[in-house]
Every structure is written in C-alpha cells, then in structure tokens.
Amino acid sequence: MKIAVIGAGAMGGAMAEGFVHSGRFLPSDITVSAPHESTLERFAALGIRTTTDNRHAAEGADVVIVAVKPWLVENVISGIKPMLDYSTQTVVSVAAGVSGDRLTAMLAKEDGSRPETFIAIPNIAISVGCSMTFIVAVNGDATATENIEDMFNSVGSSLIVDEHLLGAGTALASCGIAYAMRYVRAASEGGVELGFKAGAARDIVLQTVKGAVALLQANGNHPEAEIDKVTTPGGLTIRGLNEMERAGFTNAVIRGLVGSK
C-alpha cells in the first residue's frame, strides 16, 4: 500500500515515522509533503519520499492522508482534487473539527463523484506504534474501512466510531495524551520535592504508570478496585488521595476533557 501524508508537522510526521517503524510499509511506500524543504529533511533521512508539491505526493498513492491544520484542509484538498482518481484513491483527513459533511463537500467533483473518505484522529504516540486512533467512515465501503483500520492498527489500536463520538474520542485520547503527560510531570515534580533527582523521579513515575496500565489491562478491573488494594485502611495512600481530591483532582481532569471537546 502506498501512502501520501500531506503535512509533515507534529501529526503528519509522527504518522510517517510510525508507518516506517511498524515494518509494515517500506519507507519508499510513504511520501510526505510540506511547503518547506527544511521540514522534510528528517523524513528523507529515513528513506521516505519527500516533496514540496502536494499533487506530486498524492500521485499514485492508494491512501492520501491530509494532515494540515484544520483551516488549511479546504485549500489543500482543492489543490489535489483535480488529479485524484476516486476509483482507486482513498482520502483520510486527520484534522480535528473538520466534519464529514464538510470533507464530502470539499472533495465532491462536478460530476458528483466522491472518493472513499475517512476521518481518523490518532494521537501522537503513533510515532512509536502506540496510537489510539478513532476512525469515522464518512464514505467508506467494508473493504476500504478494513484497509484503513488495518493501516492504523499497524501503529497502535483503533476504534470505528460514529461521528458524534469523535469530539469525545479526540479529547480523551488525542488531547488526553498531553493530559496524561501532565500527570507525569506533576508527579515527577512532587518526586523532586520529596528528594529524588529529576531524572530519577521521572523514571520512577513512568515505571509506576506502566505498572498501573499493566495491572488494569491484565485483570480488566475498574481502577477503583485496584485502588482499594493500595489504600491500607488508616494508611498513607488514602491520605494522599483525599488531599488530591481536596485540591480538585478528578474535577480538574473532567473539566479539562469536557473543555477540549
């Protein structure tokens, strides 16, 4: 499968790197485009094909991924639309907040034809094969949907959702990875105040978070059931948890998620 990634910033770049590191795709099967040569150099160093011409990138690709800022999607699509072959090429937008209806309108040709079209919202861990990606089949038959799902499953997990859940998914997983990292930062800073050097505190927090994830994935328990095993009655953990809640921990997380939807 040949993939064109239009836009080589944080997300486009992470996707290109992830696809190559997955081992599923040859670097030469990926083409990345961006307006500035300087943006493209690090991809060329990985053997990825690069170009400053979006049309050239899209030419011959089975899947064209649009990974520019939301307000540039229309312009980018109108630039490549005349040479897209809708009978063979699938278009995927990763732009947050650009609806399926808008994409369909942007992509429609004068004869009314439209390509297999998807919205996919990954998160930045796609670069290391650990994305949580939400996929909406805007106009996708079963085979195309399977292909797109397969492509994103090669770089993490994916979930097909109705479009009305996309904002929630974006907040929880794509913005959410930043929120998880903010917890890591906060806990690391706490670790320094408690006496560890910064690097050691970070490593300790990462191993602790890894342990929490591994436990929950292994037994499928609700987090509170695992927390109950840690909170020795009258012990230390419940004092810490209650202090965190007094400072608004759960409320702050939920407000952050709802605020980013």
Ligand X SMILES: NC(=O)C1=CN([C@@H]2O[C@H](COP(=O)(O)OP(=O)(O)OC[C@H]3O[C@@H](n4cnc5c(N)ncnc54)[C@H](OP(=O)(O)O)[C@@H]3O)[C@@H](O)[C@H]2O)C=CC1
Binding residues for NADPH: 54
Residue 117 or 174: the one with the smaller Cβ distance to ligand A1CAB is 174
Residue 41 or 226: the one with the smaller Cβ distance to ligand X is 41
Q: Are 47 and 28 in contact (CB under 8 A)?
A: yes
> At closest approach, how far in Å is the CB of 102 from ligand X?
13
Q: Is 173 in the site for ligand A1CAB (CB under 6 A)?
A: no
Element (H, E) at 244: helix 236-246
Residue 86 or 152: the one with the smaller Cβ distance to ligand A1CAB is 152
Sign of the CA dihedral with 162 first, then 168, 170, and 174 last: negative
Q: Which stretch binds ligand X (CB under 6 A): 6-14, 82-90, 103-111, 194-202?
A: 6-14
**Short-list 74, 73, 16, CA closest to 40:** 16
Q: Point out the annotated binding site.
A: 6-11, 54, 67-70
Contact map string, positions 43 to 82, toward ligand X, x by CB under 6 A:
-----------x------------xxxx-x---x------
Q: Which stretch binds ligand A1CAB (CB under 6 A): 85-93, 138-146, 170-178, 183-191?
A: 170-178
Q: Which stretch binds ligand A1CAB (CB under 6 A): 12-20, 40-48, 71-79, 169-177?
A: 169-177
Q: How far apart are CA 122 and CA 131, in angstroms?
A: 6
CA distances from 222 to 12, 17, 212, 213, 244 (A): 34, 34, 12, 12, 19
Residue 103 or 201: the one with the smaller Cβ distance to ligand X is 103
CB 78: neighbour CB atoms within 10 A?
11
Which does residue 48 bind out of ligand X, ligand A1CAB, none, counting CB within 5 to 8 angstroms by kind? none
**Short-list 123, 208, 215, CA closest to 169:** 123
Which does residue 35 bind out of ligand A1CAB, ligand X, none, counting CB within 5 to 8 angstroms by kind? ligand X
Residue 69 identity: K
CA distances from 52 to 19, 35, 38, 93, 220 (A): 20, 5, 10, 19, 47
Q: Is 35 in the site for ligand X (CB under 6 A)?
A: yes
Residue 12 or 191: the one with the smaller Cβ distance to ligand X is 12
Q: How far apart are CA 28 and CA 204, in angstroms?
A: 39
For ligand X, the binding residues (CB under 6 A) are 6-12, 33-36, 39, 54, 67-70, 72, 76, 94-96, 121-124, 174
